[in-house]
Amino acid sequence: MDDSFIAKPLGRRQIDQAYPLVCAIAPGLGIDQWRAFAAALLDSATMGSSSKAGNGGGGGAGTDGLPAARGIMTVQNAQGYMHGLFSYAVEPQLLHGRTLCVDNFVVLDLFDVAGPAETLLQAMEGLARQLGCTAIHTTLPERYLPRDSRRNPIPDCFRTEGHRQETVRFCKDLVVVNDNAPDLPGGAVGAE
């Protein structure tokens, strides 16, 4: 791991700074949609704190010293530039019990993809251990799935850190009402 990278929870003032990273895995995502998603995660992380794991408070950590049970973790260099992020939430899972569920994993670096990816993976494991999780489930964007025989550094970093592919996740978009769905003409709300 490159010591010049550090994992830090996303701060409210950094939401717009993280937008270009998210666009790499969600091209066409509107800034307002990203802001709403990030604010919802950060708001849920600041809704109080208790001595129980999973009820973390503001700024990515509760007053009890535990990280928030939901949030966004970033990887930054010494100058504060973001090179990657992931969103997470602690959820109960049938086979593994208390599980850190990770989405929106993205790393962008022109010269060293493995350094920031390894930093995020180690932060992910640290979060899971601090929050009393027995497993980590990560959903990677489709762009990280190999379509040919070339090696891809992101899945390779996951394997090196002890992760294994366990499932394949399918998605079917439904037109539903939710806070992240874009407004359609006529005032209706829909999914992309």
Reading the chain (192 residues) residue by residue, the pLDDT tens digits are 456 899 999 999 999 999 999 999 999 999 999 999 999 999 887 764 433 333 333 345 555 678 999 999 999 999 999 999 999 999 999 988 999 999 999 999 888 889 999 999 999 999 999 999 999 999 987 776 666 546 678 888 888 889 888 776 766 666 655 555 555 555 555 444
3-state secondary structure of 27: coil
Question: CA-CA distances (angstroms) from residue 76 to 50, 112, 119, 146?
Answer: 29, 13, 9, 26
3-state secondary structure of 180: coil
Q: Does an H or E element contain 83, and which?
A: strand 82-93
Do the Cβ atoms of 167 and 93 come closer than 8 Å? no
Pairing of strands 97-107, 135-138: parallel
Residue written as token pair 């090196």: 160
CA 23/CA 141 separation, integer angstroms: 12
- pLDDT at position 188: 52
- pLDDT at position 39: 96
